[in-house]
Amino acid sequence: MSDVAISARRLSPGTKAVLGIFARYGTIIGLLAMIVTFSILSPHAFPTVNNFTNVLNQASLAMIIAGGLTLAVVVGELDLSIGFAASLHGILITGLVVHDKLPIPLAVVIVIALGAVIGLVNGFIVTKVKVNSVIATLGVGTILTGLAFAYSAGVPIVAGVPEAFLQLSLGRWLFGIPNNIIVMILVLGGLWLLVERTPLGQEIQAVGGNAVAARLAGVNVDRIKILGFVISGMCAALTGILLASRLGSGTASAADSYLLTAFAAVFLGSATLRDGEFHVLGTLVGALIIAFGFNGLNIFGAPTFSQYVLQGAILIIAVGMASLGRSLAER
Amino acid sequence: MQTAFTRGAPQQAAPMTTPFLVAHDIAKAFGGAQALKGVSLDIAPGEIHGLVGANGAGKSTFIRILAGLNHPDAGRIEIDGHSQQIATPQRATELGMSFIHQELAFVPGMTVLQNIMLGVPKKSRFGLTDWRAIARDVAPIARRVGISAPLNASVKGLSTAEIWLINICRALVRKARLIVMDEPTASLAASEAERLFAIVRDLSASGVAVLYISHRLDEILNLCSRVSVFRDGRSVAELAGKGLNRPALVEAIVGGTIRDLQRTATARPRGDVVMEASNLTRAPKVRGVSLKLHAGEVLGIGGLVGAGRTELARLLFGADRPDSGEMRLADRPYQPASPAGAVRAGLGLIPEERRAEALFLSKSIAFNLGIANLDKIVHSRYLPLLNRSARTAMAGEMIRSLSIKARNASTPVGRLSGGNQQKVAIGRWLQRTPKVLILDEPTRGVDIGARGEIHRLIRQQAESGMAVLVISSEPDELPDLCDRVLVMAEGRIVRELTGQAVSRKAIVEASYVDPQALMEDHPA
pLDDT on residue A5: 38
Task: Find the mean pLDDT for residues B45-74.
Answer: 89
One CATH from 1.10.10.10, 3.40.140.10, 2.40.50.140, 1.10.3470.10 for A60-256: 1.10.3470.10
pLDDT at site B524: 41
Q: Identify the CA nearest to A56 among candidates A35, A83, A41.
A: A35
Weakest-pLDDT range from A170-174, B134-138, B202-206, B458-462:
A170-174
State the average pLDDT for chain B: 86
Instruction: List the beta strands (DSSP E) in B12-96.
Output: 21-30, 33-43, 48-52, 74-79, 82-83
In chain B, the domains with their CATH numbers are 21-254 (3.40.50.300), 261-346+434-524 (3.40.50.300), 359-432 (no CATH)
Which range among A169-183, A294-308, B312-326 has the greatest average pLDDT? B312-326
Instruction: Sort out which chain A residues have CB atoms less than 8 A from B344's CB and list them.
Output: 218
| pLDDT for residue B502 is more than 50 | yes
Residues 6+ apart with CB under 8 A from B420: B404, B405, B406, B450
Alpha-carbon distance of B253 to B243, in angstroms, equals 14
Mean pLDDT in residue range B169-198:
84
Q: Give A42 to chain B, closest Cα distance, Å.
A: 42
Q: For residue A2, what pLDDT band results from cuts at 50, 70 and 90?
A: very low
Q: Do the beta carbons of residue B86 and residue B77 sit within 8 Å? A: yes
Collapsing DSSP states into helix, strand and coil, what is residue B8? Answer: coil
- pLDDT (0 to 100) of residue B185: 80
What pLDDT does residue B3 have?
Answer: 39
CA distance B470 to B164: 35
Average pLDDT over residues B313-336: 94
Asked if B339 and A199 come within 8 Å (Cβ–Cβ), the reply is: no
Sign of CA pseudo-dihedral B400, B406, B410, B414: negative
Say if residue B148 is exposed, middle or buried (CB neighbours under 10 Å; 0-12, 13-18, 19+). exposed
- Given this model, what pLDDT does residue B257 score? 46
The answer, yes or no, to whether residue B277 has pLDDT greater than 50, is: yes
Closest chain A CA to residue B345: A218
Min Cα separation A194/chain B (Å): 8
The pLDDT-based confidence of B4 (bands split at 50, 70, 90) is very low
Check the CA dihedral A194-A197-A203-A204 and report its sign: positive
Query: What is d(CA B371, CA A202) in angstroms, rounded to the nearest whole number?
Result: 7
Show contacts of B454-463: CB within 8 Å, 24+ apart: B454/B419, B454/B422, B454/B423, B454/B426, B455/B480, B455/B481, B457/B402, B457/B423, B457/B426, B458/B298, B459/B265, B459/B298, B461/B430, B461/B437, B462/B296, B462/B297, B462/B298, B463/B268, B463/B296
Predicted confidence band of residue B422 (pLDDT cuts 50, 70, 90)? very high
pLDDT at A108 over 90: yes
At residue B446, the pLDDT reads 76
Stretch 366-385 of chain B: residues touching chain A, C-beta under 8 Å: 367, 370-372, 374-375, 377-378, 384-385
Q: How many CB atoms neighbour CB B473 within 10 A?
A: 21
Residue B108 has pLDDT above 70, yes or no: yes
Q: Which residue has the higher pLDDT, A248 or B469?
A: B469
Mean predicted lDDT score pLDDT of chain A: 88
- Worst-scoring range by mean pLDDT, B258-267, B269-278, B358-367? B258-267
Structure confidence at residue B372 (pLDDT): 93
Per-residue model confidence (pLDDT) at position B519: 62
pLDDT over threshold 90, residue B392? yes
Domain boundaries, chain A: 7-47+283-331, 60-256
A24, A216, A278, best to mutate vs chain B, most B CBs in 10 Å: A216
What HEC string does B273-338 produce? Answer: EEEEEEEEEECCCEEEEEEEEECCCEEEEEECCCCCHHHHHHHHCCCCCCCEEEEEECCEECCCCC
Query: Which one of A202, A209, A215 has the shortest CB-CB distance to B362?
Result: A209
- pLDDT tens-digit series, residues A235-274: 999 999 999 999 988 888 888 889 989 999 999 888 888 7
